[in-house]
Chain A
Amino acid sequence: MGKTNLKTELETGLERVEEIIEGYKERGEEGFLIQLLLDIQSEFNWIPREAIARISERLRVPKSKIYRVASFYEAMSLTPAGRHTVQVCLGTACQVRGAPKILDRLEERLRIKEGETTLDRRFSLRRVNCLGCCAMGPVVVVDGNYHGKITPAMVAGILEKYA
Chain B
Amino acid sequence: MRELRRKIVAGRDLNKPFITLCSGTACHATGSDAVAAAIQEELEKQGLTEQVGVRRTGCHGFCERGPILVIYPEEICYLGVTPEDVPEIVSETIKGKRIIERLLYAEPSTGERSVHEQDIPFYKHQTRLVFKGNLWIDPTKIEDYLALGGYKALAKVLEEKTPEEVLEEVKRANLRGRGGGGFPAGRKWETTRNAAGEPKYVIVNCDEGDPGAYMDRSIMEGNPHRVLEGLTIGAYAIGSHQGFVYVRQEYPIAIANLGVAIEQAKEYGFLGENILGSGFNFDVKVHRGAGAFVSGESSALMNAIEGKVGEPRPKYIHTSESGVWDKPSNLNNVETWANVPLIIAKGADWFNSIGTEGSKGTKIFSLVGTVNNTGLVEVPMGTTLREIIYKIGGGIRGGKRFKSVQTGGPSGGIIPEQFLDTPVDFDELTRLGSMMGSGGMIVIDEETCIVDLARYFVDFLCDESCGKCVPCREGLRRMREILEGVVAGRGKEGDIEMLEEIGEVMKKASLCALGTTAANPVLSTLRYFRDEYEAHIAEKRCPALFCKDLISYYIEPEKCVACLLCLKNCPEGAISGGKKKVHVIDQSKCVKCGICFDVCPPKVRAVKKISGVPVPPPVPEAEREIERRKVRSGGERRR
Q: Which residues of B contact A91 (CB under 8 A)?
A: 211-212
Q: How far does the alpha carbon of A134 sit from the alpha carbon of B305 in the complex, in Å?
A: 29
- B398-433, CB under 8 A of A: which get 1 and which 0? 000000001001000000000000000000000000
Q: How far does the alpha carbon of A151 sit from the alpha carbon of B209 in the complex, in Å?
A: 26
Query: Contact between B444 and A96 (Cβ–Cβ < 8 Å)?
Result: yes
A3 CB to nearest B CB, Å: 34
Check B375 for interface membership: any CB of A closer than 8 A: yes
- B279-292, CB under 8 A of A: which get 1 and which 0? 00000010110111
Q: How far does the alpha carbon of A108 sit from the alpha carbon of B574 in the complex, in Å?
A: 15
Check B63 for interface membership: any CB of A closer than 8 A: yes
Q: Which residues of B contact A128 (CB under 8 A)?
A: 250
Check A10 for interface membership: any CB of B closer than 8 A: no
B109 CB to nearest A CB, Å: 20
Q: How far does the alpha carbon of A22 sit from the alpha carbon of B569 in the complex, in Å?
A: 55
Interface size class of B (residues with CB under 8 A): 35 or more
Q: How far does the alpha carbon of A152 sit from the alpha carbon of B595 in the complex, in Å?
A: 6
Q: How far does the alpha carbon of A146 sit from the alpha carbon of B591 in the complex, in Å?
A: 27
Query: Contact between A90 and B211 (Cβ–Cβ < 8 Å)?
Result: yes
- A59-94, CB under 8 A of B: which get 1 and which 0? 000000000110011111000000000000011110
Q: How far does the alpha carbon of A68 sit from the alpha carbon of B309 in the complex, in Å?
A: 7
Q: Which residues of B contact A75 (CB under 8 A)?
A: 249-250, 290-291
Query: Contact between A30 and B374 (Cβ–Cβ < 8 Å)?
Result: no
Q: Which residues of A contact B448 (CB under 8 A)?
A: 96
Query: Contact between A101 and B593 (Cβ–Cβ < 8 Å)?
Result: yes
Query: Which of B209, B307, B406 gathers the greatest number of chain A CB atoms within 10 Å?
Result: B307
Interface size class of A (residues with CB under 8 A): 35 or more
Known: A135-B64, A153-B595. A130 touches B211 (CB 8 A): yes
**Smallest CB gap from A93: residue in B:** B368
Q: How far does the alpha carbon of A129 sit from the alpha carbon of B214 in the complex, in Å?
A: 12
A144 CB to nearest B CB, Å: 10
Query: Contact between B374 and A93 (Cβ–Cβ < 8 Å)?
Result: yes
Q: How far does the alpha carbon of A101 sit from the alpha carbon of B593 in the complex, in Å?
A: 6
Q: How far does the alpha carbon of A68 sit from the alpha carbon of B210 in the complex, in Å?
A: 24
Query: Which of A74, A92, A97 gathers the greatest number of chain B CB atoms within 10 Å?
Result: A92
Task: Select which of B66, B290, B292, B456 is within 8 A of A92 by beta carbon.
Answer: B456
Task: Select which of A35, A37, A92, A104 is within 8 A of B368 by beta carbon.
Answer: A92
Task: Select which of A34, A68, A109, A131 is within 8 A of B304 by beta carbon.
Answer: A34
Q: Which of B269-308 contact A (CB under 8 A)?
A: 285, 287-288, 290-293, 304-308
**Smallest CB gap from B591: residue in A:** A108
- A124-163, CB under 8 A of B: which get 1 and which 0? 0000111111111101000000101001110010000000
Known: A30-B306, A92-B442, A108-B571. A135 touches B26 (CB 8 A): yes
Q: Which residues of A contact B212 (CB under 8 A)?
A: 91-93, 130, 134
Q: How far does the alpha carbon of A137 sit from the alpha carbon of B368 in the complex, in Å?
A: 9
Query: Contact between A31 and B308 (Cβ–Cβ < 8 Å)?
Result: yes
Task: Select which of A74, A93, A133 is within 8 A of B290 by beta carbon.
Answer: A74
Q: How far does the alpha carbon of A136 sit from the alpha carbon of B27 in the complex, in Å?
A: 10
Residues of A participating in the B interface, judged by any CB pair closer than 8 Å:
29-35, 37-38, 68-69, 72-76, 90-93, 95-97, 101, 104-105, 108-109, 128-137, 139, 146, 148, 151-153, 156
25 contacts between A and B (CB under 8 A): A30-B306, A31-B306, A34-B290, A35-B288, A72-B292, A72-B310, A73-B310, A74-B291, A92-B369, A92-B406, A93-B368, A96-B443, A97-B369, A101-B594, A104-B593, A130-B210, A132-B217, A132-B251, A133-B26, A133-B63, A134-B63, A134-B368, A135-B368, A135-B374, A152-B598
Extra A-B contacts (20), CB below 8 Å, given A31-B308, A151-B598: A30-B306, A34-B287, A34-B288, A34-B304, A35-B288, A38-B249, A72-B309, A92-B406, A93-B442, A96-B369, A96-B370, A96-B442, A101-B593, A104-B591, A130-B213, A134-B374, A136-B26, A151-B595, A153-B598, A153-B599
